[in-house]
Chain A
């Protein structure tokens, strides 16, 4: 247990360092969404209509930005070899690293989302659904992303390949996360969409550590 916390603290500390990628994700997310009214125009009805989709698309892209360093840095400096000999199973290490990625990338986006939602003219009573959807949906971005990051770990400039591998796998989260807000806007029940978003996160939490650890073992050769 103390080993888990040591690894979690390490990854968070490294992400918050200059060039660690922690601040990049949230900065990109905010900028992306701020650009939308400039491109689409300030008409309130249009903005509210596309707000959920825009927020989610920006979140997917922002999560991708820092994913390529999730295992790459450890691979390049030999830490990955040491992880394989550590008393923790590699699957557990993957899970902890994905959690650290979410805490430094996903969580700030969850916190910023309602502010940006207001900016995009979302009604205030819809914001709780947006926050809930982001909170239960964004962990899947880090978890599924970990699989892609593990597969591309030995590839130079693998970030581009990673985007192409991972973005299609983000589609279910995008659909149901945005759908929940849309339903709330139309005064329909958002819970089924939220439940499906949660289901995707749970399935990725169960599968991603094993898939990513297997990919890392192959790439460590």
Chain B
């Protein structure tokens, strides 16, 4: 299984954010998405998750294409964005248990995921009382509960300390060792030494190259 992205074009509110983005990530590999603020890293990950519609290009995971079979494609994807999808009114354990239930995952995975991120001792605590870092770990623990081959992580280490960031890189390495694919948008060095790097650059507004062309102005472009 490999992720192949070709000539991806994405618009947000009519503005071109991604244009001609293309790369291939083979199975068992991680890729780091880099680029300055506002370059379109989050847009790229949301588009690859199928949440944001793509206006042109193709995305293929194994033999499933995003445009051909969106629901089939989306069932291969786990996405961890800026928001943790944590309900403050529920306990840490309930929060994760619900997603395990919705995805029909085994309940043993919940305990394992909480254990990996070191939050099993606060399993009975309402999420409202958790720190930002604990909530983020809870959000990332969902990745372990869902059994999905393609991981899309958007700044996963925000509000995490060094030790917890190490847990995230461990998890990504383990996921890739099992044949999975991970795309991580990050500004810090996660220690994924063999990861591919995908550079996202801001799209420059297109100029009309021959604006003084008489034919063009005469209506040749119609």
Contact = CB atoms under 8 A, between A and B. Distances in A.
Interface of A: 2-3, 5-7, 9-10, 13-14, 17-20, 76-79, 81-82, 84-89, 220-221
Given A84-B51, A84-B74, A221-B53, A77 B87 contact: yes
Given A85-B49, A85-B78, A221-B51, A77 B86 contact: yes
Contact of B12 (A10, A79, A221): A221
Contacts of A20: 89
Contacts of A14: 87, 89-90
21 contacts: A3-B104, A6-B98, A6-B101, A7-B98, A10-B90, A10-B101, A14-B87, A14-B89, A17-B89, A77-B85, A77-B86, A78-B84, A78-B139, A79-B87, A81-B49, A82-B99, A84-B49, A85-B50, A85-B78, A87-B104, A221-B53
Contacts of B77: 85
A70 B79 CA distance: 22
Interface residues of B, number: 32
Given A14-B87, A17-B89, A81 B98 contact: no
Contacts of A89: 71
Contacts of A88: 102
A183 B101 CA distance: 47
Contacts of B86: 77
A14 to B, nearest CB: 6
A19 B103 CA distance: 27
B112 interface: no
Interface string B65-82: 000000100110111011
A70 B100 CA distance: 21
Nearest to B76: A85
Nearest to A11: B98
Contacts of A79: 85, 87
A79 B81 CA distance: 10
Interface in B94-118: 94, 98-104
A17 B94 CA distance: 14
Nearest to B52: A221
B57 to A, nearest CB: 17
Nearest 5 A/B pairs, CB to CB: A78-B83, A6-B101, A78-B85, A17-B89, A79-B85
A72 to B, nearest CB: 13
Given A6-B98, A78-B83, A78-B85, A13 B103 contact: no
Given A5-B101, A7-B101, A221-B51, 16 more contacts: A3-B103, A9-B101, A10-B98, A14-B89, A14-B90, A18-B89, A77-B86, A78-B82, A79-B85, A81-B81, A84-B74, A86-B103, A87-B75, A220-B51, A220-B52, A221-B53
